[in-house]
Structure 1
Amino acid sequence: MGAGLALDTDRYFFISSNVLGGCKGTTGPSSINPQTGKPYGSQFPNIVVQDIVKVQKALLEHLGISHLKAIIGGSFGGMQANQWAIDYPDFMDNIVNLCSSIYFSAEAIGFNHVMRQAVINDPNFNGGDYYEGTPPDQGLSIARMLGMLTYRTDLQLAKAFGRATKSDGSFWGDYFQVESYLSYQGKKFLERFDANSYLHLLRALDMYDPSLGYDNVKEALSRIKARYTLVSVTTDQLFKPIDLYKSKQLLEQSGVDLHFYEFPSDYGHDAFLVDYDQFEKRIRDGLAGN
């Protein structure tokens, strides 16, 4: 994003909001419940992607915005972009969905389950009501470490660390450099994320069903009027190419104006965050239709 780039700040006005259920501004489990004067914690309601999109729509209405050039999202954001196109088909000209499928796979749900169990079984979790005590940092850190392995690739980790060891590593601790890297990422995550928000957003990923409120998925997807760009990375281990192919097929069968791209990257799922050159072109293509 910047002047002259695909997300050209000289041409477009950008809106990027925090999600419902998160911990960076929009109401989430760590927000104060006005009925109790304490954080919602375990009392925060279950949410789905459709709820998140409704809150985003309310924000745009508050800002007086009635139409968008495009909605762009990667990973979980891609699911939100997809649902925007279904629920509000006349609101945007383009959808750009980066590294995200119509449904989360069984394997991905399994990873999320293990990550949630790491948090829930932390002795400090207290059923989600830990805000007046010690947060479940150990569980959240472990969950993040596992998550990082789904975002990267074996090739990238081999290039960065291989089997290199640390000179001061302990046998049962961070002996290998890749272990030290994961430990660092787990601890760093604690500075910016809340465990309850993590659980709720993981579950929203699992539960995403674009047909919610419609008779079936084809009826839901056939509502889409926007030009739709879908980008897949061949090495993505979280939203695998097979899942993107299935999404491509569903969108095409539903009559969506679909433009599908796929390319290799050492970075796996995180490619949309770091492989700028490849995604720059695809985003430009995605904005070129209208």
Structure 2
Amino acid sequence: MKFLVLLWSVIITSGMLGFSSSASAEAKESLIVEKKIFELETFQTFAGKTIKQIKLGWESYGELNADKSNAILITHYFTGNSHAAGKYNESDTTAGYWDHLIGPGKAIDTNQYFVLSMDTLANVAINDPHVITTGPATINPDTGKPYGLSFPVVTIRDFVNLQKALIEQLGIKKLHAVVGPSMGSMQAIDWAAAYPNMVERMVSVIGTGHLDAWTTIGLHQWAVPIKLDPNWNAGDYYGKQAPVEGLVASLKLITQNALHPDFINETNASYSPLEDAPLNDILAQHSAVKWIDQRARSRASLMDANHILYLVRACQLFVAGHDDNLEKGLSKIKAKTLFLPSAGDLLLMPRLAKTSYDVLKAQGKDTQYAELKGKYGHLDGFFAVSPHAETIREFLAK
């Protein structure tokens, strides 16, 4: 299971989301899906390095039509994977992260579209049995040992190119749409810039067309605790004590950055600055700190510290089109575009999506913009996107 889905599960079981009965009915109608494996013998990265024997997981929902013109690619977020919708079996308690958007009769209608999604390189949740990825924790076929930091730096374009290899293997020449949240939005807009003749529509949810200096510095903070953990050992910890404390500290930052302060304060309503334990013991922690620590630790066992470092770097290197500047990259886009940032997002602030929208508008492109309204901050892209389900449905039909 992925980071946000685990957090989602915690919130649901705490009664915090207040989902309606219709949402519950949708959950019961989830598709039953399977994880498939895509393999490549060799792959050349954007930086010109070679990775051998790549294996990545992928899923699909719905059926590909006769002329293969109804494919929609879903590109996943930082700590997510290809499990965008459905369940692996009826007993699963949690469906894919966008199950409320993807499925029969839903906004991304699997009665009409063939929907597919792929795990990225260096996926963080390497210990999740439903994640299949190649990254620093993978055995290097040339040495018989884990890559560690010898694994090449990878970019958002590399994720896109591997998705393209799968799509070409399926005989698909053009995508009806590419849709993604957060880091997935980076992949979606880069698809439209890198392969403009293959993408008819692009939907960016809680996203951006580039990483500015502020956001790059913020993501750097996610990497720092891992590198400061003595067990990290310059990335050479496989078969030894893993840098668990550094990983937990990183996940605490990710959790805090992804949530709006109002939601955290609401969830910790009983918190008091003058709690007895921290008042009397410098090593004791406030209840709110324990709250976020507990949630981070509950996820750490599924994840790999080096993989977080690689995804941080992939995001830090991002600009749509992987070109000299954002304007040049966006100028290549032919697709219709839709931007759905969250008004309360403090991680990928809405001004980032608005910048791309404004540039595309000035270039005379067909583009739309609307803001999600919710109390979850960045996570509004999962919990507050349903009010824009019809916006997405209509955009896909235009």
**Which residue identity lines up with residue 392 of structure 2 in the other structure?**
I
1:219 is displaced (CA, Å) by 3.0
1:240 is displaced (CA, Å) by 1.0
> Paired residue for 1:268?
377
3-state SS of the aligned residue for 1:193?
A: coil
Equivalent of residue 175 in structure 1, options 286, 293, 297 = 286
**Which residue identity lines up with residue 261 of structure 1 in the other structure?**
A
Equivalent of residue 365 in structure 2, options 256, 271, 277 = 256
Matches of 1:276 and 1:220, distance apart in 2: 27
> Paired residue for 2:91?
none
3-state SS of the aligned residue for 2:111?
A: coil
Matches of 1:169 and 1:58, distance apart in 2: 58
1:164 is displaced (CA, Å) by 2.4
1:58 and 1:249, CA in 2 relative to 1: closer, same or farther beyond 3 A?
same
Q: Deviations over 1:24-76 (max 9, x none)?
A: 32321111110011111110011111111111111111222222211101000
1:5 and 1:126, CA in 2 relative to 1: closer, same or farther beyond 3 A?
same
Matches of 1:277 and 1:253, distance apart in 2: 29
Equivalent of residue 210 in structure 1, options 305, 312, 320 = 320
> Paired residue for 1:132?
239
Q: Is the 8 A contact 1:233 1:262 kept in 2?
A: yes
3-state SS of the aligned residue for 1:183?
A: helix
Q: Does 1:44 align with 2:151?
A: yes
> Paired residue for 2:229?
122
Matches of 2:327 and 2:261, distance apart in 1: 36
* TM-score, length of structure 1 as denominator length: 0.92
> Paired residue for 1:281?
390
Equivalent of residue 300 in structure 2, options 187, 190, 205 = 190
**Which residue identity lines up with residue 350 of structure 2 in the other structure?**
P
Q: Is the 8 A contact 1:231 1:282 kept in 2?
A: no
> Paired residue for 1:235?
344
Matches of 1:169 and 1:279, distance apart in 2: 45
Comparing 245-254 with 75-84, greater Cα deviation is found at 245-254
Equivalent of residue 34 in structure 1, options 128, 134, 141 = 141
1:283 is displaced (CA, Å) by 2.2
**Which residue identity lines up with residue 370 of structure 2 in the other structure?**
Y
How many pairs does the alignment contain? 285
**Which residue identity lines up with residue 195 of structure 1 in the other structure?**
A
Query: Gapped runs of 5+ residues in structure 2?
Result: 1-101
1:112 is displaced (CA, Å) by 1.6
Equivalent of residue 2 in structure 1, options 103, 107, 110 = 103
Matches of 2:259 and 2:390, distance apart in 1: 22
Q: Is the 8 A contact 1:145 1:183 kept in 2?
A: yes
> Paired residue for 2:119?
18
3-state SS of the aligned residue for 1:71?
A: strand
Matches of 1:215 and 1:105, distance apart in 2: 14
Equivalent of residue 211 in structure 2, options 79, 104, 113 = 104
**Which residue identity lines up with residue 296 of structure 2 in the other structure?**
G
**Which residue identity lines up with residue 92 of structure 1 in the other structure?**
V
CA RMSD of aligned residues (A): 1.9
Equivalent of residue 91 in structure 1, options 182, 195, 198 = 198
1:253 is displaced (CA, Å) by 2.4
3-state SS of the aligned residue for 1:97?
A: strand
Q: Deviations over 1:73-123 (max 9, x none)?
A: 100000000000011112122111001111223232222212211001111
3-state SS of the aligned residue for 2:340?
A: strand
Query: Gapped runs of 5+ residues in structure 1?
Result: none
1:257 and 1:32, CA in 2 relative to 1: closer, same or farther beyond 3 A?
same
> Paired residue for 1:71?
178
Matches of 1:187 and 1:277, distance apart in 2: 30
Q: Is the 8 A contact 1:222 1:255 kept in 2?
A: no
Matches of 1:211 and 1:13, distance apart in 2: 26
Q: Deviations over 1:104-162 (max 9, x none)?
A: 23232222212211001111101111111011111011011011111111111122213
3-state SS of the aligned residue for 1:230?
A: strand
Q: Is the 8 A contact 1:272 1:279 kept in 2?
A: no
Q: Deviations over 1:155-174 (max 9, x none)?
A: 11122213426xx9953444
* TM-score, length of structure 2 as denominator length: 0.68
Matches of 2:276 and 2:122, distance apart in 1: 38
What percent of counterpart residues are identical? 32
